[in-house]
Amino acid sequence: MEVKTHIAIVSVPVYSHLRSILEFCKRLVHLHHDIHVTCINPTFGSPCNNTKALFDSLPLTLNQMFLPPVNMEDLPHDIHPAIQVQVIISRSLPLIYDALKALHASSRLAAIISDGLITQVLPFGKELNVLSYSYFPSTAMLLSLCLYSSMLDKRISCEYRDIVEPIEIPGCIPIHGTDLPDPLQDRSGAAYKQFLEGNERFYLADGILVNNFFEMEEGTIRALQQEEEKGIPSVYAIGPFVQEESCKEGSNDIKYLRWLDKQQCNSVLYVSFGSGGTLSQEQIEELAWGLELSGQKFLWVLRPPNKFGIIADIGARHEDPFEFLPDGRLRGCFMSIPRNLLCHCGWNSTLEAVVHGIPLIAWPLFAEQKMNAVLLTDDLKVALRPKVNENGIVEREEITGIIRNLMVGEEGKEIRQRMKNLKDVADDALKDDGSSTVTLTQLALKWKSLS
Q: Which residues are annotated as catalytic?
A: 17, 115
Distance CA 279, CA 291 (A): 15
CA–CA dist 346, 273 (Å, integer) = 8
Omega within 30 of 0 (cis) for the link into 240: yes
Question: Phi/psi zone of residue 394: left (φ > 0), alpha (ψ -120 to 50 degrees), beta?
Answer: beta
Three-state SS across the chain?
Answer: CCCCEEEEEECCCCHHHHHHHHHHHHHHHHHCCCEEEEEEECCCCCCCHHHHHHHHCCCCCEEEEECCCCCCCCCCCCCCHHHHHHHHHHHHHHHHHHHHHHHHHHCCEEEEEEECCCHHHHHHHHHHCCEEEEEECCCHHHHHHHHCHHHHHHHCCCCHHHCCCCECCCCCCCECHHHCCHHHHCCCCHHHHHHHHHHHHHHHCCEEEECCCHHHCHHHHHHHHHCHHHCCCCEEECCCCCCCCCCCCCCCHHHHHHHHHCCCCCCEEEECCCCCECCCHHHHHHHHHHHHHHCCEEEECCCCCCCCCECCCCCCCCCCHHHHCCCCHHHHCCCCCCCCCCCCCCHHHHHHHHHCCCCEECCCCCCCHHHHHHHHHHHCCCEECCCCCCCCCCCHHHHHHHHHHHHHCHHHHHHHHHHHHHHHHHHHHCCCCCHHHHHHHHHHHHHHCCC
110, 450 Cβ separation under 8 angstroms: yes
- Using DSSP bridges, classify how beta strands 360-361 and 5-10 pair: parallel, antiparallel or unpaired: unpaired
